[in-house]
Amino acid sequence: MSDRPPELTLADQAPANYECRSCGYVYDPSKGDSKTNTPAGTPFEELPETWRCPVCGVRRSQFINIGAKDAPSGFQENLSYGFGVNRLTPAQKNILIFGALALGFVFFISLYGLN
C-alpha cells in the first residue's frame, strides 16, 4: 500500500558487529581496527576482500554478523515513552531485570534473619 521502507529498529540501523568464528574477535565498526589501519566508522561490509582477522588471520568469510551491540532495541519514535526504559540497550535491560530479581531475592532471604 505505501512506499515507505520497512521500519527498522535502531539496532537494525546501526552498523553491525561481526564476530570471528575462529577466535571470537569482534569487529566493531565504530572503533575500526588499528592493527590493519581500518579507520573508525568503517562498516564490515566495506572492509577489503584481503582483510583478515587481526587476531588469528582467518578470512572475512569466517566472520558472522552478531548485530549492533550498543543500540537501543526499540524504534526511534518510542524512545520517549515508558519512563526512559525504551532508551536502554538490551544489555542494560538485562541488568535492570536481573538486578531487580537479585534484589528481591536478597530481601526474601533477609526475612529468615528476622526473629
Please tell me the distance from the alpha carbon of residue 42 to that of residue 49, in angstroms, as a whole number.
Answer: 14
> How many of the other CB atoms lie within 10 Å of CB of 113?
6
Let me know how many helices (H) and strands (E) the chain has, helices first.
2, 3
Phi, psi of 33 (to 5 degrees): -145, 110
For binding to Zn ion (CB under 5 A), which residues are involved? 20, 22-23, 25, 53, 55-56
Judged by beta carbon, residue 34 or residue 78, the one nearer Zn ion is 34
Judged by beta carbon, residue 22 or residue 89, the one nearer Zn ion is 22
Q: How far is the CB of 39 from Zn ion (least distance, A)?
A: 20
Please tell me the distance from the alpha carbon of residue 25 to that of residue 56, in angstroms, as a whole number.
Answer: 9
Q: How far is the CB of 26 from Zn ion (least distance, A)?
A: 10
Nearest-5° Cα angle at 53, 33 to 68:
60
Judged by beta carbon, residue 23 or residue 96, the one nearer Zn ion is 23
Q: How far is the CB of 69 from Zn ion (least distance, A)?
A: 17
Q: How far is the CB of 113 from Zn ion (least distance, A)?
A: 50
Judged by beta carbon, residue 33 or residue 42, the one nearer Zn ion is 33
